[in-house]
Amino acid sequence: MGCADEDPEPAREGAALDAHLHVASQALTDFFTGGGVPAPTGAELVARLDEARVTRGVVLAPGYMPFPDDSYVGPENDYAAAQVAAFPDRLIGFCGINPRFDSAPDEITRCLALPGMVGIKLHLPASEVDLRNLDHVAALAAVFERIDESGAPVMLHTGDPWSQPLDNDAFARLSEIINAHPSVRIAHAHCAGNTDDASIEAWLRVPGSGYRANAFVDTSACLRFYRDAPLATRELMVWRFRQWGIERVLLGSDYLQFQPEETPAEAIATLRQYPFTTEELDVILSNDGAAWLVGASE
């Protein structure tokens, strides 16, 4: 049989990066589980990465949660930093920041000084940020200003305080903040939508949305929901990624030990259920996130 008749080479096994992993302190784990469940650890995350043959993982600290006050934020970031520091060649830490706390800019500076903590996780719904509230808009702008000064990358989960898509005014205000800081490298979590996966098209279609060459998107949660959807639905999602730029798509699992969305291995299996070409799968799975994490080389 000639080469022209042979099946294409399969996409690579494993992946270079899982861009969306979680840990939580024992106190927060007890809050979510009711107690009796050990806190997730860096060792457990590394075991999951090994299982999937994934080289490195981004660990997102939950300091963005709607805690009663900011005294809870530092301990969550410190716990994540300790887990990352134990595996510096495998885990990359992101500080969780709630923009609604006045201390947020200073916590960015403090947390980024911890070993292994290189980026910022912003979860607007979990932080109950309401972009219809101008005080919240100003607080988020101040956070972006400090991030810009630090040069840190961002993992951004958008949505309103009820985890619904942003309305037009809120989207415009977020876009204005992003556009005011063009050097900030942003990865949009969950296909840039989560509860409304079509919202990725707003970033692509709306002039001045903030979509640009240093904007990335991860596959966490959203692909899992549609993994057994009709082929036409999965083709549409692949088309959206192509419009975004396959080279800026990051594999993500959203794995948290006591509330697992998917393990890294399951996230890779889910990705393969979508009609990407073999070359596109190779591009996604070999993406080590360097352009997002440290910026494009000069």
CA atoms lying within 13 Å on the CB side of residue 97: 33
pLDDT digit string, tens, across residues 65-87: 999 999 999 999 999 999 999 99
The pLDDT assigned to 1 comes to 39
In a domain, 276, yes or no: yes
Domain membership of residue 109 (yes or no) is yes
Mean pLDDT to the nearest integer, 271-295 = 97
Q: Is residue 158 part of a domain?
A: yes
- Residues with Cβ within 8 Å of 281's Cβ and at least 6 positions away in sequence, in order, are 11, 12, 271, 272
- Pairing of β 215-218 and β 249-250: parallel
User: What average pLDDT score do residues 219-230 get?
Assistant: 91
Looking at residue 198, its pLDDT comes to 67
Full residue range of the structural domain in which residue 207 is found: 14-293
φ, ψ for residue 260, nearest 5 deg:
-70, 120
Please give the model's pTM, rounded to 2 decimal places: 0.93
4 found inside a domain: no
In-domain check, residue 46:
yes
Q: Is the pLDDT of residue 59 over 60?
A: yes
Query: 228: which 2 tokens?
Result: 């057994």
Confidence band (pLDDT; 50, 70, 90) for 7?
very low
Asked whether residue 130 is domain-assigned, the answer is: yes
pLDDT at 108 over 70: yes
Higher pLDDT, 3 or 57: 57
pLDDT tier, 11 (very low <50, low <70, confident <90, very high otherwise): low
CA–CA separation, 186 and 181 (whole Å): 10
pLDDT for position 285: 98
Share of the chain above pLDDT 90, in %: 80
- CATH classification of the domain holding 103: 3.20.20.140
Which H or E element spans position 135? helix 134-150
Asked if residue 142 belongs to a domain, the reply is yes
* Per-residue pLDDT at 137 exceeds 60: yes
- pLDDT, residue 164, reads 82
Mean pLDDT of 52-74: 97
pLDDT band at 194 (very low <50, low <70, confident <90, very high): low
Residue 9 lies in a domain: no
The number of domains in the chain is 1
